[in-house]
Amino acid sequence: MAFFLLCMITDVGDSAFIVGETGVVVPPRDPQALANGWAKLLMDISREEHQQLGLAARQRIIERYDLGKIADQYQRLYESLVK
């Protein structure tokens, strides 16, 4: 996602939350859903949609998972606990 790539993931753990609407999420242990997900990414989404979703994926990572922002959040949390 950080490199403008679309993800096709199974819905386990926080994967669906991380990817959000910027990729394809399928249920775990469902080979047909997995095949359909790949087909969607490879054949059903236009080049323009790929580019738009790739940009959205990168933006999502920058906004939510930037290491500096996460470190700041932890620092604020720790400071709030000692006050």
Q: What is the residue range of 41's domain? A: 8-82
Q: Is residue 50 part of a domain?
A: yes
pTM of the model: 0.80
Label residue 47 exposed, middle or buried (CB < 10 Å: 0-12, 13-18, 19+).
exposed
Q: Is residue 2 part of a domain?
A: no
**How many domains does the chain contain in total?**
1
Task: For residue 68, give Cα distances in angstroms to 5, 14, 20, 53, 76.
Answer: 22, 21, 21, 24, 12
Q: Is residue 26 part of a domain?
A: yes
pLDDT along the chain (83 residues), means of 10: 94 97 97 96 94 96 93 96 90
